[in-house]
Amino acid sequence: MTKVAHFALKDGGTVPVEIKHRKGARHLRLSLGLNNQLVASVPWRCKQGDITRFLEKNRAWAEMQLSQAPRLLSLEEWFERHPTLSGSGDQFLVSIEQTNQLKASYRFEKGGADIVLRLPNKSESLSLALNRLVRRFAKDALPCRVAYHAKRLGLNYNRVSARDQKSRWGSCSSNGDLSLNWRLVLLEPDLQDYVILHELAHLTEMNHSARFWSLLETYDPDLKQHETVLDAVTAMVMRVGRL
């Protein structure tokens, strides 16, 4: 059961609080969500008064986390700062244009070095149209990159999907289905490959044991560097395009 409340900040503003009552939970826990909201996980029968006191007790932590959290960015804002998309091991320079066409589309130019994102100028919401188009590009690009690495490594998988996960870059099911976060196309090609190789390694080792990391290192000898860089950018990139 989830309820939404609001927490008053010292500067006079407020922030949403998702209160999640969980069966079997014994303690109250507070975290920061990717929409820069507070998330309070509490025991099933926890009283509102106890939750209020818990939030107040953790005010200093909450205010600090909120002040340090990357802000939410639309894709338009992201491309103004980072005008690139990654696919097929390459990085393409992005430009956005509005056209009279009825449907959004993308096309490559300058010998495949640039990608033009073409949006109908009669779209009800250009932000929504851009999100959908970039996610379509991810659905085209990510399965192709998985297929390339799987063939190179002699691996067999079932299906690949590009989804809008809340916090995970990817997952691999026991039947060989790979699910990848569409925001992988916003990363540098080597980081995108690292995540794909990470999930492909799970086809052999469905865990994070020493055997898994040893196998992944044979797939990506620079895994430690890639893991460090990915950790550094995850909080920022995961907040992009959350309409």
Question: What confidence tens digit (pLDDT) does each residue in 202-227 have?
Answer: 999 999 999 999 999 999 999 999 99
The predicted pLDDT at position 97 comes to: 94
The arithmetic mean of pLDDT across residues 1-10, rounded, is: 82
| 99, 143: one domain | yes
83 within a domain of the structure (yes/no): yes
Is 139 domain-assigned? Answer: yes
DSSP the chain: -EEEEEEE-TTS-EEEEEEEEETT--S-EEEE-TTS-EEEEEETT--HHHHHHHHHHTHHHHHHHHHHSPPPB-HHHHHHH--EEEETTEEEEEEEEEES-SS-EEEEEGGGTEEEEEEETT-S-HHHHHHHHHHHHHHHHHHHHHHHHHHHHT-----EEEE--SS-SEEE-TTS-EEEEGGGGGS-HHHHHHHHHHHHHTTT-SS-SHHHHHHHHHH-TTHHHHHHHHHHHHHHHTTBT--
Residues 114 and 32 in one domain: no
pLDDT tens sequence across 40-66: 898 988 889 988 999 999 999 999 998
**Distance between CA atoms of residues 187 and 190, nearest Å:** 8
With a cut of 80, say whether residue 167 has pLDDT above it: yes
Q: Does residue 213 share a domain with residue 97?
A: yes
Q: Is residue 243 part of a domain?
A: no
Model confidence band, residue 10 (pLDDT cutoffs 50, 70, 90): confident
Question: Is the residue at 242 inside a domain?
Answer: no
pLDDT band with cut points at 50, 70 and 90 for residue 242? confident
Would residue 16 count as lying in a domain?
yes
Q: Is residue 42 part of a domain?
A: yes
Q: Is residue 190 part of a domain?
A: yes
Asked which of 33, 68, 103 is the last residue of a domain, the reply is: 68
Nearest Cα neighbor of 163 from 189, 145, 184, 149 is 184
Range of the domain at 61: 2-68
150 Cβ neighbours under 8 A, 6+ residues apart: 156, 157, 200
- Do 188 and 136 fall within a single domain? yes
Domain count, the chain: 2
Same domain, 49 and 97: no
Q: Is residue 79 part of a domain?
A: yes
Dihedral over alpha carbons 203, 206, 207, 211 (to 10 degrees): -60
Residues 96 and 204 in one domain: yes
Same domain for 61 and 167, yes or no, is no
- Tokens (6 digits) for 191: 């980081």
Domain end: 68, 99, 121, which one? 68
Check whether residue 233 and residue 196 sit in a common domain: yes
213, 138: one domain: yes
- pLDDT score, position 123: 67
Average pLDDT, the chain: 93
Judge whether residue 124 has pLDDT over 80.
Answer: no
pLDDT tens per residue across span 67-112? 888 889 999 999 999 999 999 999 999 999 999 888 999 999 999 9
| Cross-strand partners of 5 | 17
Say if residue 64 is in the same domain as residue 84.
no
Residues 146 and 226 grouped into a single domain: yes
Q: Which residue has the tokens 């550094």?
A: 232
Judge whether residue 229 has pLDDT over 90: yes
Q: 214 and 153 share a domain?
A: yes
Which of 48, 68, 88 is at the close of a domain?
68
